[in-house]
Structure 1
Amino acid sequence: MAAEDYDIEDQGDQQYVVRMTDGEEDVEAWFHVTPDVAQQLGVAPGDEADLVAATVDFLRTHQDVADFPSIVEIEDVLASYPDYEEAVTTRR
């Protein structure tokens, strides 16, 4: 999924709304980045949107856009996918 296939909007309080399309269906998902997870992943304050973009790209390789949950906790992604941390930290 190319970056132009989704938009990320900062909603404050480490929450981001992502609007995506797979060409057929539009999906909106809310992403939450906790300060602890951002620190663990080496994300500088203010760069959380980059982590959200990396997470969207990562999840897209594992599931269809239509299957994205409406709320995505980054810490849950980290706990659920053993290859997530390496994928998002090597991308940046």
Structure 2
Amino acid sequence: MDAYEWSGRTVEYHRAQIRGHLGFRECSVADADKLTAWLAEHVACKERRPVSPPYPGALRPRNVPRAGVRHTGPSTGHRARPAG
């Protein structure tokens, strides 16, 4: 496996062959949105624990405005979008 090229056209072709053989397709934005909603409803709500910063504003870097940016989540592959 060390000699296998894990990036480029060959691996993309092989992934497509494997997906086709197993009856899967590439994840769409709608699929990612559904997964995010399901995880928020069934997993994240059970994993939340209260966090207390050592002092007010300690968790906000000075160079980030308060309005900030809201992430859709690191596993979705979406770009961050303005809050609001």
Relative CO higher for 1 or 2, CA cutoff 8 Å, sep ≥ 6? 1
Structure with greater strand share of residues: 1
The interval holding the TM-score normalised by the smaller chain is under 0.3
Structure with greater helix share of residues: 1
TM-score of the pair, normalised by structure 2? 0.23
